Amino acid sequence: MINLTLWDLLPAFVRKARPKAPRRRPARPEPKPPGPAQRAYDAMVAELLAQYGLRVRKWRSTMSGIAWEVYYADGRTARLIEAPRPKGPMSAAIFLHEVGHHAIGFHTYKPRCLEEFHAWAWAIAQMELRGLNITERVRKRMHDSLHYAIGKARRRGLRELPAELAPFVNSWRSIATD
C-alpha cells in the first residue's frame, strides 16, 4: 500500500513555494535644518531649562502641559515639566506657561487660579521680551485657561475672586473687534 497525500497528486510547479522578495522600506528623507524661528525657539528652551534647573520629562504631542516638583528624602528637588516642544506661538506659550510656574514659585500666590494668572502673565511677558509672535489664538487660550481655572476654584468653594481675574470671568471677546 502506498501512502499518498493530496500534495503528492499536485503537479510539481504548484507545490514549489516561490520565495518572496524582501520588502524595501522607502528611505527617509533627510531632515531639513531648522530655520531661524526654530533656532530661536530651541535657544529659548535651552536657556530657560538651564536658568531654572528644569528637566522636561516628556515633550507632549498635544497642546497641554504640567509643571511640578519632586522632593527627595536626601533634600534634593527635581523641577519637572511636560509641554509641547516650541515650534510656533501656541506651543511656545504653553511651554513658557509651564516654565512660569517654576519661575514665579509654586504656592506663592493663593488661590490656585491666581497662580495660573501669574504663570500666564510671565509667559506673555517672556514672549514680548523675546520678540515672539503673540497671536489672537494665544490670547484666547490664556483667557480660556483662566476662565476654566476660575470656574474650578468656584466649584471648590472660592469665596472672593482676586481683582486681577475679573476680566476673565466673562466669555472671550476678540481684541480685534474692540
State pLDDT tens for residues 34-83: 999 999 999 999 999 999 999 999 999 999 999 999 999 999 999 999 99
At 23, the amino acid letter reads R
pTM value is: 0.80
Pull the grid cell for residue 93: 506659550
Q: Which of 22, 76, 33, 79 is nearest to 56 (CA)?
A: 79
Question: What are the φ/ψ torsions at residue 171 (nearest 5 degrees)?
Answer: -70, 165
